[in-house]
Structure formats: C-alpha cells, structure tokens
Amino acid sequence: MKKETYINESNEVYDAIVIGSGITGGWAAKELTERGFKTLMIERGRVVEHRKDYIAEGKGPWEFPHRTKVNNLLVEEQYKIQSQCYAFHDGTKHFFGNDRDLPYSTAEGTDFSWIRANQLGGKSLLWHRQSYRLSDYDFTANLKDGIGNDWPIRYKDLAPWYDYVEKFVGISGNYDNLPQLPNSQFQPPFEMTKPEQDFVKTMAEVYPDRPAIMGRCAHLTAPQKIQVELGRMKCMARNECQKGCSFGAYFSTQSATLPAAARTGNLYIAPNSVVESLIYDEKTNKVKGVNVVDNDTLKTREYYGKIVFLCASTLASTQIMLNSKSRKFPNGIANSSGVLGHYLMDHNYNARAYAEIDGYEDEYYMGRRPTGIYIPNFRYEPKRYHKDYKRGYALSGGAGRSDWQGMAKSNGFGVDFKNKLKHPGKWGMSLGAQGEMLPNRENQMTLHNSKKDKWGIPQIHFNCKWSENEKRMMEDAAQTAAQMLEKAGYKNVQSSFSERPPGIAIHEVGTARMGRDAKESVLNGYNQCHDIDNLFVTDGSAFCSSAVVNPSLTFMALTARAVDYAVKEVKAGRL
C-alpha cells in the first residue's frame, strides 16, 4: 500500500465513507472505488500489510516459545475470551482483540463469547472461509414459520450478486445441484479421502435425502486472471490460514479487495480510528460524517462523507448506531422501529459425533485440506422439520488418520511405542452440527448504562441465550450424526455435547435487520436505512434469519448489491 493511502486528519468530504475493513468493508471499498467514488475506509485498529505482517507464517512449532501454545498468564489476563476460539494460538494471537481493552457485560444467567479482530482486514484474516449461498428456503423460512420478519429479498435478487462476488473471490467446490444449497461459481473442489468417497456412496444409498458433499471454501484451486493479477496464487494446502497467507490463496481483505480498491487510486484509509458515533444532520436528515477517537492517543477527530457504509461487524455496527443519539433519534440512529439491537443470532455448534473406521491401512493423503465433508441441511422446509423443533442444521467434518497426538496417551514404551507413533493410526470420522438459531426479540445487545471502554464508548451489554428450539435441535443432531456413522459401518461411535454460549460460532447476525416495513426493521431490501437514505449497513446485522450456512459469502453479495444500488441512486440524483 502506498504511504499516501493512509490519512489521519482530513477536512475533505469524501464521496463515500466505509466503516470497517473486514470482509464487508473490503467489499464496500472495492465496489465504491471501482465505480469512481473517492472513498475513505475507516479502521479502528492498526495497519496489517499483506505478507510483511504475517509474522508467524511458515514457522515450525519449535520456533514458538511454547510450541504455538499461549502463555497461561497472558491468556488469563488478556485473552480469556479470545482463547475460546479454535483458531487462537501463539501464531495468530496478534490478530485477535485484547479482552483487557475490549470489555463487555452479559445479563445474569446468560453468556456470550465475543471474538474480536480489530485491525486492517478484521476477521477476514481469521475467518474459516467456508462459503455457501443461502437458498429460497432460507429467505422464506421466517414467512412460512411465522417467526421473525420476512426477508425483503428472495434468492433471485441475490443470485447475480453471488455470481459476481464468487468469480472474484474464488470458491472451490463441486456442482452438486441441490435445491437447499445453490451452486456457486466454482473452481475445482478439494479431493475427498478414500473413506470419505465411500461414505458419500453409502449415504446416497441409505439416506438419499441427505447427500454428503465436498465442502466449499474461499480458496483458489485454479486461479483465474482476475485473481492472478492481484498477486494471488493457488492454495498450497498448508491449512495455517489464520497466520496470514502470503500466497493470497484464501480470500481476505489484504489478498483481494484491498489491492483491487487501491489500484483505482480512489482509496484512502484512516487506521487507528475508533468510530464513536455517526454525525447526523437533522436539517437534511442525512449522516454527514463520523466522530472518531484515536486508537492510541484517544484524541478526537471527524471525517466527512456524502454516503456512509457501516461495515464494522454486526455487533460493532449496531453499537455505533445505538451510540449515535440525537433529538430525532434518542434511541440510536435510524432506530425509529425500536428493533435495533434485538434479534441477535449466532449458530449453534454444540453437538458432534465421532467414530473409528476399520481398514484403509494402505490409504493416506497429502497436504492439509482447508475444508471437509459437508452434509447440507436436510430439514430445510417445514414438511421436513423434526417434530420437536423448527429449522435445521448442517453437518461438517471429515475422515482422517489418527497421529502421534491422538496416540499420545495410549499405552506403551520404548522402541515399540516410538514405532507405533511413527506411522498413522486408525482412520476416524467426525461430524459436527451447525444449527440455525431462531430470531427472538429477547436476544438483544444494548449499551451499558454506565460502563465505558477506554475510548469513552459505552460498552455492550448482552442478553442472549439458546432457546429450547436450539437445544432440542442439538439433541437430535448428535443422535442423527451418530446414526449416520453407524449406518456407514463405523466402530466405537460416540456423540457429545458442549455448553458453549452464543457468539462462539462467530456468526453473529441480525441486530439491524432488513424488512419491508419501516416499523419493524432498520434496513430496506438494499441495506439502506429506512430512516436515513445515505446510511447503508451491509454486514451481518442486516440478516432476518441466521439460516444454517456460514454467512460471510452473503455479506459480500449483499454489500456488492447495496453499493450498486447506492451508486445508481447517487447518479440518478436521488441520493
């Protein structure tokens, strides 16, 4: 990135302001700059330069002080919550927020795990990269069930935008032609292991309505010109993605949207700029800029823009809106409906099953695949629902061979033990549930009435918990996954539950939802605030339902579509 891209003080009125630099903010900046809009991207954290700042990349475990595990005192004092994330280790901890500086509270009897990534690129550096489209079963689920509000858009509205973003991102996957999981624009899928291939065949016979497919992920398997010209390369199957990838093989802001935006010459970035609130102009009923507190010096400054894309993440965007109070909007900007902060959702990952597989001793694999086997939601419409709960879940996992880690506690000593660990152990397969969470008005984030963070911004107070629907779903998912492993002929089938709170799937959505009716939603079908036409919110906060699939691909499609709409509105003189 050129030095002059980064700004600090500026009185300029930009064509557009983008708040946030993660998956959503990166897309907003790319689309706006490519359409000729002089755009200021505001990021609360430090600059992370592609390649240069991937400080742990390519290092073997012996090169870390504790073989990639994190010092216990450091975890206790600064990363107690972040360390709950599967991707948190000594090679990635610098991309996670510091819990000491980022406090929040939860209502009595509830818990919420808020995983943070406050730097340029945000969670796009740390995400799990699994990429799936929503289907019309998802867009109509609220309507059919009479739960939550109806999405104001349908699959046909978003399909061309999925096409558009996927060609740029690069999604590996197989054309499976499933009604509940529309195809993407694919690059070749990753290969299955031999037991997985056989599992797929068995499932097709035993459960024809529950196809098992290869996972779809934002990794280049056959890079196209659009990716190569940004310096991106084929995935090397290291599966160390969260340390940062100098190959640019997985989609991140740094690898893809940022260089695309920068080459237009229209991109400016204000790093270390914590957005405290939006500046509302009552005369024009528009947002005219943002109030910022410097991340390091705590000094305040303002930035100005003609339109504002709020892409700070579901919870952070909602926090900024709730904290933007005025005479007209005493309860948060664009919140005449009163739903801002309500209907917080995540996914429930609390059930799984595991089994051992006999045989296949001559079979092995090479490389570390960044995705796995996926069984899409097979309870995707009311007539397929389980009698005990609504909606459904996907199962994801895969088959691999046990290694020294799995055998570390097994019995034995000496040369025999060493020889045992020299070779791979038995094959096993795991399946984990990814369950939908229903929209529920009671699940809410508010601003704490007295506690503030070090930037003087009111802390978030969560009141969010699993409902009986999610709990019953997980009971069924564990049982069902175990049955499928039994039917596959596997041994020692076990299922288990965990009690992890909402938040830890890091798929939080729903707190500034879209809708047709301004009285019951914050955003219209183009992610534009009903109340203020130059304010767009395009991250997960716009979701009306969580659906089952990983949400990031949909953030991207919604964002590209919203920018297209906004640009047309500006050019038509309506905005």
- The residue ranges that bind other proteins (CB under 8 A) are 51, 57-73, 89-92, 190-194, 196-197, 221, 233-240, 243, 246-247, 361-369, 401, 403-405, 407-409, 411, 413-415, 417-418, 421-424
- CB nearer to other proteins: pick between 208 and 414: 414
Q: Which two tokens stand for residue 277?
A: 């609130």
Cβ atoms 537, 555 nearer than 8 A? no
* Least distance from other proteins to the Cβ atom of residue 218, Å: 15
Rounded to a whole number of angstroms, the minimum distance from the CB of residue 363 to other proteins is: 6
CA–CA gap between residue 77 and residue 317 (Å, rounded): 27
> CA nearest 393: which of 348, 353, 344?
348
Please check whether residue 547 is in contact with residue 555, taking contact to mean a CB–CB distance below 8 angstroms.
Answer: no
Taking the C-alpha atoms of residue 287 and residue 271, their distance in angstroms, rounded to an integer, is: 21
Q: How far is the CB of 421 from other proteins (least distance, A)?
A: 7
Work out whether strand 427-435 and strand 351-357 pair parallel, antiparallel, or are unpaired: antiparallel
Closer residue to other proteins in complex, CB, 77/363 = 363
Q: Which residues pair with 40 in a beta bridge?
A: 17, 268
3 state SS of 276: strand
Helix/strand/coil for 112: coil
Residue located via tokens 């000729």:
36
Name the minimum Å distance from CB 264 to other proteins.
24
- Cβ proximity to other proteins: between 178 and 407 the closer is 407
Residue 276 CA to residue 285 CA, distance in Å, equals 19
How many C-alpha atoms does 45 have within 13 Å on its Cβ side? Answer: 22
**Toward other proteins, which CB reaches closer, 65 or 208?**
65
Length of the chain: 575
Nearest-approach distance from CB 182 to other proteins, in angstroms: 25
155 or 404, CB closer to other proteins?
404
The secondary structure of residue 71, as a DSSP letter, is: P
Closer residue to other proteins in complex, CB, 36/188: 188
Smallest distance from other proteins to CB 202, Å: 17
CA-based nearest residue to 390, from 135, 148, 136: 148
For other proteins, the closer CB: 384 or 418: 418
- DSSP type of residue 94: G
- Please say which residue, 68 or 336, places its beta carbon nearer to other proteins: 68
